[in-house]
Structure 1
Amino acid sequence: MIDNKNKVALIFGVRNDSSIAYDVAVKLHQSGAKIALSYVDDTKDYVLHLLKELGLSEKSAMQVDVRNEADIAAFMQQAYAALGPIDYILHGVAFGSQQVMCYSLPGSKAPAPTYLNIPFEELMDSFNISAYSLLRIARVAEPFLADQASILTLTYNASQRVFPGYAGMSINKAALENIVYYLADAFRNKGVRVNALSAGLVMTTSAGGINGVRKLRKLTRATAPLGNINAGDVGNAALYYFSDLSKKVTGNIHFVDGGFNIMGIGIDE
Structure 2
Amino acid sequence: MSALLRPAPLLFVSHGAPSFALQTQSKAATNLQMQGKQLTGCKAIIAISPHWSTASLYINNAAQPKIVHDFYGFAPALYQLDYPAMGSTEDANMIASALRQAGIESQFDTHAAWDHGVWIPMRFLRPNGDIPVIHLSYPASWNLSQLTALGNALAALRAQGFALLMSGAISHNFADLNPNQSGSANYVERLRTKLFTLASSKTLPQLDELIKNDADFKRAHPTFEHFAPFYIALAATQTHDKAYVYQADVDYHALAMDSILWLAQDAQT
TM-score, normalised relative to structure 2? 0.38
Greater relative contact order (CA < 8 Å, ≥ 6 in sequence): 2
Larger helix percent: 1
TM-score, normalised relative to structure 1? 0.38
Greater Cα radius of gyration, structure 1 or 2: 1
